[in-house]
Structure 1
Amino acid sequence: MFEWLRVFWQGRIFFLARGDQLPRFLNQALKDGVVLYHTQKSERGMRAQIKLADFRCLRRAARQTHTRVHIVAKYGWPFVAARWWRRKGLLTGFVIIAMALTVLSQLVLSISVSGNRNVISSDVLERAEKLGLKTWAYSKNLDLNQIAKALQEQLPDAAWIGIERNGTDIKIKISEKIRPSIPKEAGNLVASHAGLIKEIMVIQGNPQVHEGETVRAGQVLITQALNPSLPSKTTAPNSAVNNAVARGFVRGRVWYSAEKQILLVEDKVEESGRVATGWGIKFGSRVIMVTTQNSPFEQTNKEVTSPFLQPWRNWSFPVEVIRVNYKELHNVHLERSVVEARQLAEQAARTEVQSKITPMVQIVEENVKVLPSNSGAERVRVEVETYEDLAVYANP
């Protein structure tokens, strides 16, 4: 590897020497300190390789022996550099493009918001811009974790906000809180889950609960306040138009649980991992299989996809190429020990609990209980206690 780099850096010339005194030419070149590589004799003369720096030293030997030296090829960095140096404009363009791409790759060129339904995207982008996250900003100077945390504090309906950077693209992912459907409580903050209140912070409105109180899902936590800027006689006293929407945070402890049971002896059907693929053509509802018309397995799970032709707007192609994957199924007899069954049940219960919990919520405590069950099975219950914001707006 290093020898190849040395040869490439020095540069080599492939030449053909022709004449009647080639042995004398070769001896004279060696006396002048010229090193020849890969010397070969041919019908047309002698072929050899020489360093670029030694090529001028061949003039004396060629002149004394009346030998004609013809360059066949040139190889190495000196010739590449000379060729690019003659194209200064193109080289300058490449340098400018590389510098521009380097600078642009460090900037934020696009910002997108996903996962939101009730939270307005324009509001999220406006608040993010005030925190420094905007287009043409230098991405290395942005603390995305702190910006996500600040956005989550400013948006009461957001249970979790994550910001992901993918090159020059910034994606703001939002997981909204579950809002109970309580039409009469529009504009009020209600409890998204049952829990024990530990902290209340009212920004606007009237608190209806206090710290240390246990609330149920849908219970009103903060009611909207009367808007003094509007005359109360123009609308009904309880109208949301005449009231200021409640704002604030109510944090407390919430409990989640899940139970799972795993059999010690179980017979089931599952995929073996073997897959056979067939290709076909679909005309409307008619399918013509070109390869692998039938599944080669006794039990199979057939999956049909169209990897090439996709519908465009409201128009679809009349002819469609489809791919059919035949996944082999086989019967499996499982015998588990008590420890293995408990571990699988605990893992399944924990996965179900995690699906109920809002991402990035602080987990205070987790308990795993082995429950009594019938012989031949193990039942496990996982209980998780979290500390999260309970206040959400009710769905009208």
Structure 2
Amino acid sequence: MFEWLRTFWYGRILFLARGEQLARFVNLVSKDGVILYHTQRSEHGMRAQIKLADFRRLRRSARLTHTRIHIVAKYGWPFVAARWWRRKGLLIGIIIIASVLTFLSQLVLSISVLGNKNLMTAEVLERAEKLGLKTYVHSKDLDLNGIAKALQEQLPDAAWIGIERHGTNIEIRVSEKIRPTIPEEAGNLVASRAGIVKEIMVIEGTPQIHEGETVRAGQVLISSPPANYSQSAQDKSKPTPPAAVARGFVRARVWYSAEAQVPLVEDKMEESGKIAVGRGIKFGSRVIMLTAQNSPFDQSCKEEIIQSAKLWRNWRFPVEGIKVNHIELRNVHIERSVAEARKLAEQAARLEVQKKITQGVPIVEEIVRVLPGNSGSERVRVEVETYEDLAVYANP
């Protein structure tokens, strides 16, 4: 490979020599220290290749032997550079376009919000902008995980928020909290989940429960107040004003639990930490890999990353870059002690419980129970008690 690069860098000329004294011509050229490559005899004379720097040194030998030299082809970087130098304007334009595209590909050019129904897209974008996520900022300087967590804390109606980067586009994926669907109770405050009521604060409406009562999910906590308007027959042409809605807080003790089981002996596949990176170009559905087309590992998984530039609205640059990470996998035999398996099961159960709890809700008490499991494994249950507001509006 290095020989090919050296040949391309210095350049070569393929020429045809004609004359009656070709053997003497070759001898004189050799005495002058000129090396001929791929020499071939043909009906028209002799074909050979020579370095670009040695081509002028053929004049003396050609003159003494009355040999005519005709250039057949030119190959190498010097000729490519000369050709492009004659087209300096086109070359400068390509460099400018490539520089602009490289610069734009590192910026955030568009932000989209997906998965929201009740949350307003404008509100999500406004809060994200205050956290630093906005257009025309360097995408690599953004802590997308930190912004997603902060955004979830600021939007109480969002159960989960994830932010993904696809080239120059940032996608904010929102998963909203599921509210009980009770059409006939629109405007009432109902319980989002089961719990024991500890505190009631009614701002507007009529309480339907009392402190110390156990409520179930969907149960009416505060009913909406009666409409305080009267409409006579003469006013029937006027639009009906909106019905009043209940307002208030109902704080209660709520319990969450989750179980996890971890074996003492386990065979599994895990990443070794070695990664082979392949890069290529994508034209529509066609992919041309430039490096590492196939995985060099016996066992591996593949991760593809598309790098595209979105220049204006929905118009994308037709050529996209593709990065393929070949991640090596290896078989691992794990033997755990009872304490280690129990600790891992506890961590897994605790992580599962935290997924169920609304972000920012304080935890009052946590209980870890070791349950009887199958032989060769440890089973753990984590029970968590929280103190949170249960009152949410029923979906119309």
Instruction: Supply the distance in 2 between the matched residues of 1:240 and 1:255 (Cα, whole angstroms).
Output: 41
**Cα offsets for 1:304-340 (capped at 9, x unmatched):** xxxxxxxxxxxxxxxxxxxxxxxxxxxxxxxxxxxxx
| TM-score, normalisation: structure 2 | 0.58
1:94 maps to what in 2?
Answer: 94
Match of 1:254 among 250, 253, 256: 256
Q: Is the 8 A contact 1:13 1:52 kept in 2?
A: yes
Match runs of 1:214-225 below 5 Å = 215-218=215-218
Alignment pair present for 1:30 and 2:30: yes
Given residue 254 of structure 1, which amino acid in structure 2 is its aligned partner? Answer: Y
**Cα offsets for 1:137-164 (capped at 9, x unmatched):** 2212222112211221222211111111
Return closer, same or farther for 1:382/1:191 CA change in 2, 3 Å cut-off.
Answer: farther
Q: Is the 8 A contact 1:177 1:192 kept in 2?
A: no
Match runs of 1:269-288 below 5 Å = none
**Cα offsets for 1:177-200 (capped at 9, x unmatched):** 1212356875666432224789x9
Instruction: Supply the distance in 1 between the matched residues of 2:215 and 2:8 (Cα, whole angstroms).
Output: 78
Alignment pair present for 1:17 and 2:17: yes
Q: CA deviation at 1:224?
A: 11
Given residue 48 of structure 1, which amino acid in structure 2 is its aligned partner? Answer: A
**Cα offsets for 1:199-252 (capped at 9, x unmatched):** x9x9x999999999965323577x7999xxxxxx9769xx98777955899895
2:71 maps to what in 1?
Answer: 71
Q: CA deviation at 1:370?
A: 5.9
**Cα offsets for 1:74-102 (capped at 9, x unmatched):** 11111111111111111111111111111
Alignment pair present for 1:49 and 2:71: no
Q: Is the 8 A contact 1:195 1:255 kept in 2?
A: no
1:267 maps to what in 2?
Answer: none
Secondary structure of 1:156's counterpart equals coil
Q: Is the 8 A contact 1:108 1:134 kept in 2?
A: yes
Instruction: Supply the distance in 2 between the matched residues of 1:387 and 1:85 (Cα, whole angstroms).
Output: 75
Return closer, same or farther for 1:132/1:220 CA change in 2, 3 Å cut-off.
Answer: farther
Q: Is the 8 A contact 1:160 1:358 kept in 2?
A: no
Secondary structure of 1:71's counterpart equals strand
Q: Is the 8 A contact 2:195 2:216 kept in 1?
A: yes
Q: Is the 8 A contact 1:113 1:172 kept in 2?
A: yes
1:159 maps to what in 2?
Answer: 159
Instruction: Supply the distance in 1 between the matched residues of 2:82 and 2:169 (Cα, whole angstroms).
Output: 40
Alignment pair present for 1:128 and 2:128: yes
Instruction: Supply the distance in 2 between the matched residues of 1:144 and 1:150 (Cα, whole angstroms).
Output: 10
Given residue 180 of structure 2, which amino acid in structure 1 is its aligned partner? Answer: P
Unaligned ranges ≥5, structure 1: 227-232, 259-349, 372-380
Instruction: Supply the distance in 1 between the matched residues of 2:2 and 2:223 (Cα, whole angstroms).
Output: 77
Identity score, percent: 65
2:191 maps to what in 1?
Answer: 191
Secondary structure of 1:89's counterpart equals helix
Paired residues, number: 286
Given residue 34 of structure 1, which amino acid in structure 2 is its aligned partner? Answer: V
Instruction: Supply the distance in 1 between the matched residues of 2:218 and 2:59 (Cα, whole angstroms).
Output: 99
Return closer, same or farther for 1:39/1:183 CA change in 2, 3 Å cut-off.
Answer: closer
Instruction: Supply the distance in 2 between the matched residues of 1:56 and 1:224 (Cα, whole angstroms).
Output: 101
Q: Is the 8 A contact 2:197 2:250 kept in 1?
A: no
Q: Is the 8 A contact 1:11 1:79 kept in 2?
A: yes
Q: Is the 8 A contact 2:11 2:52 kept in 1?
A: yes
Given residue 147 of structure 2, which amino acid in structure 1 is its aligned partner? Answer: I
Q: CA deviation at 1:253?
A: 3.6
Secondary structure of 1:129's counterpart equals helix
Instruction: Supply the distance in 2 between the matched residues of 1:182 and 1:170 (Cα, whole angstroms).
Output: 36
2:147 maps to what in 1?
Answer: 147
Secondary structure of 1:161's counterpart equals strand
Instruction: Supply the distance in 2 between the matched residues of 1:359 and 1:73 (Cα, whole angstroms).
Output: 74
Match runs of 1:1-396 below 5 Å = 1-182=1-182, 190-195=190-195, 215-218=215-218, 252-255=254-257, 385=383, 391=390, 392-396=392-396
Return closer, same or farther for 1:112/1:86 CA change in 2, 3 Å cut-off.
Answer: same
Instruction: Supply the distance in 2 between the matched residues of 1:119 and 1:110 (Cα, whole angstroms).
Output: 19
Q: CA deviation at 1:30?
A: 1.1
Q: CA deviation at 1:132?
A: 2.1
Unaligned ranges ≥5, structure 2: 231-240, 261-347
Secondary structure of 1:38's counterpart equals strand
**Cα offsets for 1:31-75 (capped at 9, x unmatched):** 111011111111211111101111111111112222111111111
Return closer, same or farther for 1:178/1:170 CA change in 2, 3 Å cut-off.
Answer: same
**Cα offsets for 1:347-376 (capped at 9, x unmatched):** xxx9xxx8xx659979976876669xxxxx
Return closer, same or farther for 1:208/1:18 CA change in 2, 3 Å cut-off.
Answer: farther
Q: Is the 8 A contact 1:224 1:246 kept in 2?
A: no
Instruction: Supply the distance in 2 between the matched residues of 1:251 and 1:166 (Cα, whole angstroms).
Output: 42
**Cα offsets for 1:262-309 (capped at 9, x unmatched):** xxxxxxxxxxxxxxxxxxxxxxxxxxxxxxxxxxxxxxxxxxxxxxxx
| TM-score, normalisation: structure 1 | 0.58
Given residue 71 of structure 2, which amino acid in structure 1 is its aligned partner? Answer: I
Q: Is the 8 A contact 2:190 2:219 kept in 1?
A: yes
Q: Is the 8 A contact 1:225 1:246 kept in 2?
A: no
Instruction: Supply the distance in 2 between the matched residues of 1:41 and 1:35 (Cα, whole angstroms).
Output: 16
Q: Is the 8 A contact 2:188 2:246 kept in 1?
A: no
Secondary structure of 1:116's counterpart equals coil
1:313 maps to what in 2?
Answer: none
Instruction: Supply the distance in 1 between the matched residues of 2:136 and 2:250 (Cα, whole angstroms).
Output: 33
